[in-house]
Chains A and B, each alone.
Chain A
Amino acid sequence: MLRTLVTRLAGAAVMAVLATLVIFLIANTVPGDPVLAQLGDLAASNPATVAEWRAKWGLDLPLWERYFIFLRGLAHGDLGTSIASQRPVLEDIAQYAPATVELSTIAFLLALVTGIPLGIAAAVWRDSWVDAVARVISLIGVSSPTFWLAFVMLAVFYGGLQIAPGPGRLDPIAFPPDEVTGLFLVDTILAGDWETFHDAVSHLVLPAIVLAAATIGLITRTTRAAMLEAIGQDYVRVSRAKGMREGYTILRHVLPNALIPVVTLGGLAYANLLAGAVMTETVFSWPGLGRYTFRSAAALDFPAIMGITLVVSVTYLLVNLLVDLSYALLDPRVRR
């Protein structure tokens, strides 16, 4: 088991570096010049300024040398300095990541606790009204565009009904808690500041629902399909023939088998949430990685883009590794 883990981790590291190479090449072939994006028209018309600026950021060096410099920095735990914010990329990411992690994790948990029971119920009471409701919910979740859903939610619950707070992680007048993890929910509990905790929770509700919507749909559908397949298996009939209660049969015999495909999907979905909250974060003014990504891309901020790529690919690889490890927990046939 340990050897498998070490081999997989080493493999993941190699994959992550390869991902940076791909992104490096793509980012450099994109038409567009960071000079124009950063200096503005006036300064960009002065060749001396441009040359100086290029030299400062190392843009005058050959492509391979720039990638080599990036790798050398990476080996020292240095992702370079962001052109736009003029701060180390690692610091930027450390600042923005907690907001995204908090939002995505809550959205993911929300998707799990809604999607899995809904999928189970839909499969157990197949073709009943429960199944119909589940189908409608998952259809809405999967098919509504995120930005549209975000605006509708804000307009209805914040603008119209006024039962939800506005955008942002906290009320403008509230003070953020002392930073320990950067996750407001955790930090407020650590500080014992229940008022801010409540504020943070209420600000999470709308963006978490919006972000979770598509995932709820996917998880509901996958759970339902996997449950239906497992319900049709012979061991379920055997369990009934043994006189086991129906609830016991569903939870102890069917569900563990049905969870295997759900875990695969769940892992991918969580990685997706972490990496893909751009739309939701923009609409809800959520100071997370999604907005940082968007800003960096618009500004052609190479060091920042490379740093984000690395973080995203490492996230995907780690989540995948966790998924593979959890197979061994769920399915004894995979264990060695």
Chain B
Amino acid sequence: MTASDRREAKPEAVPVLEVEDLRTVFLTDAGPVRAVDGVSFTVGAGETLGIVGESGSGKSVTALSLMRLLEEPARIVGGRLRFQGRDLLAMRPDELRALRGDRMAMVFQDPMTGLNPVIRILRQLTEPMTGHGRFTPPEARRRAIGLLGRMGITAPERSVSRFPHEFSGGMRQRVMLAMGFANDPALLIADEPTTALDVTIQAQILDLLRQLNAEFGTAIVLISHDLGVIGSVCRRVAVMYAGEVVEEAPTAEVLEDPRHPYAWALVNAVPRIDQPLGADRRLVSIEGAPPDALALPPGCRFAPRCPFKVERCEREHPPLAEVAPGRLARCWVTQAGQVLPKSGGAGFGGARPAPAAAEPLLSVRGLVKHFPLPRESFFAPKRVVHAVNGIDLDLKRGETLGIVGESGCGKSTLARLVTRIHAPTAGSITFDGQEIASASPAAIRPLRRRMQMVFQDPYASLNPRMTIGDTLAEPLVAHGLARRGAEVRERVGELLATVGLNPAWVSRFPHEFSGGQRQRISIARALALQPELVVADEPISALDVNIQAQILNLMLDLQQRMGLTYLFIAHDLAVVRHLCDRVAVLYLGQVMESAPAEALFARPLHPYTAVLISAVPVPGRTRVVLQGEPPSTLVLPTGCPFRTRCPIARPVCETPPPLAEHEAGRWAACHFPGEFGHAGVAA
């Protein structure tokens, strides 16, 4: 046995990573902010550990602490970090550098900004290989090409000489993963590696992570806000709250039976695609916000928000202790043996009345929107983005219609067309019996107050220089619904109360609110004019899961109280299934399938619907992973638009299948409806 063999064999005995009482603080002017406060866990060779928590819980800071990549003013002030038995905190910078990118690698969240735009992919991939002296340049080049191929990038020999901007987001994340595996690390830390990606691409990347773990025996620490994502890769999970691990256990057990109230709230805040829909659609949401890291409560940090707290919780800080074999929780209540309830049935008023089968409020026929692009040069051919290519939809009064599909499928364009922010290229839009597709701006103006929009980004959609009182008063005054002065003030106060905000906050500015509060303000703004139709474009995708649950509950309440009709655009299928009466699936600007939500998810007729549902990360479920990405929208699709990626495509698919009603209320544009039902989920 040679010396190097012995070195390779040794880590088998020692855990790859041991974290003991890690403490990381941000030294701010206001005092030290304890971002990571006594975190401990161990990752054995080849193990997978997930870290879950909301924004600000300290999960990313933990990851950076592990890599010793913290930047000022963050500093590790206590604890122990051992990597393969070696003390990371005692290492010199050059020793750390030798480990990073070699034995321990990290993949970051945003693949769009993680690659250097002015350097070819090849050099970005090979620099850790040659930089750590493991490969000569020609070897590194061969290995880079091999790794890219392994990550599922087509024609890797050609792709390596490209620049990052020539790759899509999913492709870039594959490159980032290849970079992480450049030197066959013993540990890979992945910080939200799929958050910026579509659900189909996310499924591809998660599959890849699992395979790499199995194949190379690389230990993986996966950080995510999504328990489903963690569940599909990691055997164990650590739930973080306010800088502490509050529960650590096998992932499946946490999902089934969480033993910390915060984990319980996380699990129940998210609708599950694999569980039957109850009559009560309200989700569990916990009130309040995480504690101020400068003034942490003396007892349990979750106590102020905890629905199960007992007197002791506010007084004494609970330790992370065993509550069952292999399960740790930081909770006095469960440590005393109490069981948390199965689900959070908050007992709100039950099922909604079925929408009346009246005339549709909104009706869309043959809707087309093409955006011409500027010519690249005078002689270049004219290019056109075919965003929407013939959509038919009906939306009944009081109904919620969900629109789903990958990015670029035309969801947002559709939202902007039905509210006539864009003018359609062709087709008709009827709103309450009135044709608005080609109506003049003056004719549409009175209709504006009857249809309102809520946008995705609550940070960008509120004017930072207006108080929220002014923001809410503006539409009221513009449409003459209230006179300036006392009347407007009264309405604004009512609106804030309606969306669950304190009416006394009218003179605050948007930056004084959290993301969830801002989205409430956006909803209040949409409601100011007492609209009939609310078009919500990804209203919750920028929010933490608990806040998502709050906003969804709010939308449900408002619908019940005000009889609102929703056009709800989202990429999260579980949420759509949970909230919507009907769902339309879009692909390349066309409707692939439209059906009642429950039926569509139980038994999809269109193969695209089936693979979309299958891509949702649900632990322990076999998946059909859709390969590739949607084709360019610069080319108008011929035949069935999905046939290039369809698992059951046949020659007949070159003629476009019509969107036909195959069963009562179930429409699908497929020659073989229902044939590919692999991923059907029991209702």
Bind each other: yes
Question: Is B394 an interface residue, CB under 8 A from the partner?
Answer: no
B-side contacts of A234, CB under 8 Å: 108, 110, 113-114
Residue contact B108 to A331, C-beta cutoff 8 Å? no
Partner of A3, one of B113, B131, B182, B377: B377
Question: Is B663 an interface residue, CB under 8 A from the partner?
Answer: no
Shortest Cβ distance from residue B374 to the other chain A in the assembled complex, whole angstroms: 13
Residue contact A241 to B165, C-beta cutoff 8 Å? no
A-side contacts of B69, CB under 8 Å: 237, 240-241
Residue contact A241 to B100, C-beta cutoff 8 Å? yes
Q: How many A-B residue pairs have CB under 8 A?
A: 77
A237 CA to B107 CA, complexed, in Å: 10
Instruction: Give residues of chain B (93-129) contacting chain A, Cβ–Cβ below 8 Å.
Output: 97-102, 105-106, 108, 110, 113-119, 127-128
Question: Is B238 an interface residue, CB under 8 A from the partner?
Answer: no
Question: Is B364 an interface residue, CB under 8 A from the partner?
Answer: no
Question: Is B487 an interface residue, CB under 8 A from the partner?
Answer: no
Question: Is B29 an interface residue, CB under 8 A from the partner?
Answer: no
Partner of B118, one of A239, A242, A245, A257: A257
A233 CA to B127 CA, complexed, in Å: 18
Residue contact A241 to B67, C-beta cutoff 8 Å? yes
Residue contact A243 to B117, C-beta cutoff 8 Å? no
A37-73 near B? 1/0 per residue, CB < 8 Å? 0000000000000000000000000000000000000
B-side contacts of A237, CB under 8 Å: 69, 108
What is the size category of the interface that chain B forms with chain A? 20 to 34
A105 CA to B186 CA, complexed, in Å: 54
Residue contact B117 to A245, C-beta cutoff 8 Å? no
Residue contact B118 to A256, C-beta cutoff 8 Å? yes
A233 CA to B119 CA, complexed, in Å: 14
B-side contacts of A331, CB under 8 Å: 117-118
A252 CA to B118 CA, complexed, in Å: 10
Question: Is A76 an interface residue, CB under 8 A from the partner?
Answer: no
A23 CA to B420 CA, complexed, in Å: 50
Question: Is B132 an interface residue, CB under 8 A from the partner?
Answer: yes
Residue contact B97 to A253, C-beta cutoff 8 Å? no
Residue contact A336 to B97, C-beta cutoff 8 Å? no
Residue contact A242 to B116, C-beta cutoff 8 Å? no
Residue contact B67 to A245, C-beta cutoff 8 Å? no
Question: Is A238 an interface residue, CB under 8 A from the partner?
Answer: yes
A-side contacts of B117, CB under 8 Å: 235, 257, 331-333
Known: A234-B108, A237-B69, A332-B163. A242 touches B113 (CB 8 A): no
A-side contacts of B182, CB under 8 Å: 242
Closest to A252 in B: B119
Question: Is B328 an interface residue, CB under 8 A from the partner?
Answer: no
Residue contact B131 to A244, C-beta cutoff 8 Å? yes
Residue contact B98 to A243, C-beta cutoff 8 Å? yes
A238 CA to B131 CA, complexed, in Å: 14
Shortest Cβ distance from residue A258 to the other chain B in the assembled complex, whole angstroms: 10
Question: Is A248 an interface residue, CB under 8 A from the partner?
Answer: yes
Residue contact A243 to B101, C-beta cutoff 8 Å? yes
Of the candidates B117, B163, B376, the one having the most CB atoms from chain A within 10 angstroms of its own CB is B117
Closest to B179 in A: A242
Shortest Cβ distance from residue B203 to the other chain A in the assembled complex, whole angstroms: 24
Question: Is A330 an interface residue, CB under 8 A from the partner?
Answer: yes
Residue contact B108 to A244, C-beta cutoff 8 Å? no
Closest to B103 in A: A243
Of the candidates A237, A238, A333, A336, the one having the most CB atoms from chain B within 10 angstroms of its own CB is A238
Residue contact B102 to A243, C-beta cutoff 8 Å? yes
Shortest Cβ distance from residue B173 to the other chain A in the assembled complex, whole angstroms: 12
Shortest Cβ distance from residue B72 to the other chain A in the assembled complex, whole angstroms: 9
Partner of B165, one of A257, A333, A336: A333
Shortest Cβ distance from residue A15 to the other chain B in the assembled complex, whole angstroms: 18
B536-563 near A? 1/0 per residue, CB < 8 Å? 0000000000000000000000000000
Of the candidates A4, A239, A245, A330, the one having the most CB atoms from chain B within 10 angstroms of its own CB is A239
Residue contact B131 to A241, C-beta cutoff 8 Å? no
B-side contacts of A4, CB under 8 Å: 377
Query: Considering only CB atoms and an 8 Å cut-off, how many residues of chain A contact the other chain?
Result: 24
Closest to A127 in B: B72
B65-109 near A? 1/0 per residue, CB < 8 Å? 001010000000000000000000000000001111110011010
Partner of B127, one of A242, A257, A330: A242
Residue contact A243 to B132, C-beta cutoff 8 Å? yes
Shortest Cβ distance from residue A330 to the other chain B in the assembled complex, whole angstroms: 7
Residue contact B118 to A241, C-beta cutoff 8 Å? no
Residue contact A243 to B118, C-beta cutoff 8 Å? no
B-side contacts of A3, CB under 8 Å: 377
Known: A248-B131, A332-B163, A333-B117. A238 touches B108 (CB 8 A): yes
A122 CA to B71 CA, complexed, in Å: 17
Closest to A245 in B: B97
A-side contacts of B118, CB under 8 Å: 256-257, 330-332
Known: A235-B115, A330-B118, A332-B117. A241 touches B105 (CB 8 A): yes
A253 CA to B98 CA, complexed, in Å: 19
B-side contacts of A239, CB under 8 Å: 116, 127
Closest to A330 in B: B118
B-side contacts of A330, CB under 8 Å: 118
Of the candidates A241, A243, A333, the one having the most CB atoms from chain B within 10 angstroms of its own CB is A243
Shortest Cβ distance from residue B129 to the other chain A in the assembled complex, whole angstroms: 10
B-side contacts of A238, CB under 8 Å: 108, 114-116, 176, 179
Shortest Cβ distance from residue A116 to the other chain B in the assembled complex, whole angstroms: 17
Partner of A243, one of B100, B165, B376: B100
A257 CA to B118 CA, complexed, in Å: 7
A234 CA to B116 CA, complexed, in Å: 8
Shortest Cβ distance from residue A334 to the other chain B in the assembled complex, whole angstroms: 10
Shortest Cβ distance from residue A51 to the other chain B in the assembled complex, whole angstroms: 52
Residue contact B110 to A243, C-beta cutoff 8 Å? no
B361-383 near A? 1/0 per residue, CB < 8 Å? 00000000000000011000000
Residue contact A243 to B377, C-beta cutoff 8 Å? no
Shortest Cβ distance from residue A251 to the other chain B in the assembled complex, whole angstroms: 12
Residue contact A242 to B100, C-beta cutoff 8 Å? yes
Known: A332-B163, A333-B163. A244 touches B101 (CB 8 A): yes
Closest to A256 in B: B118
A238-269 near B? 1/0 per residue, CB < 8 Å? 11111111001000110011000000000000
Closest to B102 in A: A243
Shortest Cβ distance from residue A326 to the other chain B in the assembled complex, whole angstroms: 13
B-side contacts of A245, CB under 8 Å: 97, 131
Residue contact B165 to A253, C-beta cutoff 8 Å? no
Partner of B116, one of A241, A253, A336: A253
Residue contact A240 to B100, C-beta cutoff 8 Å? yes
Of the candidates B131, B179, B182, the one having the most CB atoms from chain A within 10 angstroms of its own CB is B131
B431-451 near A? 1/0 per residue, CB < 8 Å? 000000000000000000000
Shortest Cβ distance from residue B94 to the other chain A in the assembled complex, whole angstroms: 9
A-side contacts of B115, CB under 8 Å: 235, 238
Residue contact A235 to B116, C-beta cutoff 8 Å? yes
A3 CA to B379 CA, complexed, in Å: 11
A225 CA to B105 CA, complexed, in Å: 30
Residue contact B99 to A235, C-beta cutoff 8 Å? no
A16 CA to B644 CA, complexed, in Å: 53
Instruction: Give residues of chain B (273-318) contacting chain A, Cβ–Cβ below 8 Å.
Output: none
B-side contacts of A243, CB under 8 Å: 97-102, 128, 131-132
A-B contact pairs, 22 of them (CB 8 A): A4-B377, A233-B113, A234-B113, A235-B113, A235-B117, A240-B69, A241-B67, A242-B179, A243-B100, A244-B101, A244-B128, A244-B131, A245-B131, A252-B119, A257-B116, A257-B117, A330-B118, A331-B118, A332-B117, A332-B118, A332-B165, A336-B376
Report which B residues bind A (CB closer than 8 A). 67, 69, 97-102, 105-106, 108, 110, 113-119, 127-128, 131-132, 163, 165, 176, 179, 182, 376-377
Given contacts A241-B105, A242-B179, 5 further A-B contacts (CB under 8 A): A233-B113, A235-B117, A243-B98, A245-B97, A257-B117
Report which A residues bind B (CB closer than 8 A). 3-4, 233-235, 237-245, 248, 252-253, 256-257, 330-333, 336
A-B residue pairs, 9 tightest by C-beta: A243-B101, A242-B101, A243-B100, A234-B113, A242-B128, A332-B163, A235-B116, A241-B106, A234-B114
